[in-house]
Amino acid sequence: MLPTQCMIPTKMYVMAKIKENSTNSLNRKFLTDCNLTYAVQLMGGRWKLLILMQLNAGTMRYGELKKKIVNITERMLTLQLRELEADGLIARQVYAEVPPRVEYTLTDIGRQLVPICDALHGWGTLHRSHVSGEASTLFH
């Protein structure tokens, strides 16, 4: 599955068809053929890495994630969870209860991203302190 397809929610409206020979279309094809940009697109988005790192602590319900990621809107959390699930990075388990209970957990492939996220966090801390003298508080 191409990352551009993975990242588009199923209920989004398509504004206009992109011409196959347009620069945008050609660039999209080039970027999806590159494994590095493909991987970055899967993790891309303002909130995905934070969601993945929260789920690294264990299975969580929607409300728990919402409390842990303070500034995310409900709509954005829902969209990001759907994309992460569609990309196979998290699993969604729905329990047939009243009220319904839904839990999210990292998949095996999602768990493989954790050391990469940790490395990016370390690099970000180094870069931030080098550039501005401030320490990162991303995971604290």
DSSP designation for 35: H
What is the model's pLDDT at position 83? 94
Number of H helices, E strands in the chain: 8, 3
What is each CA distance from 51 to 9, 44, 115, in whole angstroms? Answer: 17, 12, 15
In angstroms, how far is the first alpha carbon of the chain from the final one?
34
- pLDDT of the chain, 140 residues: tens digit per residue: 434 334 434 444 444 565 677 787 777 777 777 888 888 888 888 899 999 999 999 999 999 999 999 999 999 999 999 999 999 999 999 999 898 899 999 999 999 999 999 999 999 999 888 887 655 555 54
Residue 97 has phi, psi (to 5 degrees) of -130, 170
Residue 34 burial (10 A CB sphere; 0-12, 13-18, 19+): exposed
Specify the pLDDT at position 135.
Answer: 59
pLDDT at 7: 41
In this structure, are residues 103 and 61 in contact, taking their beta carbons and an 8 Å threshold?
yes
Q: Between β-strands 90-95 and 101-106, what pairing exists: parallel, antiparallel or unpaired?
A: antiparallel
Give me the pLDDT at residue 9, please. 40
pTM: 0.71
Q: Quick check: 19 and 13 in contact, CB under 8 A?
A: no
Q: What is the pLDDT of residue 49?
A: 94
3-class DSSP assignment, residue 63: helix
Residue 116: the pLDDT is 93
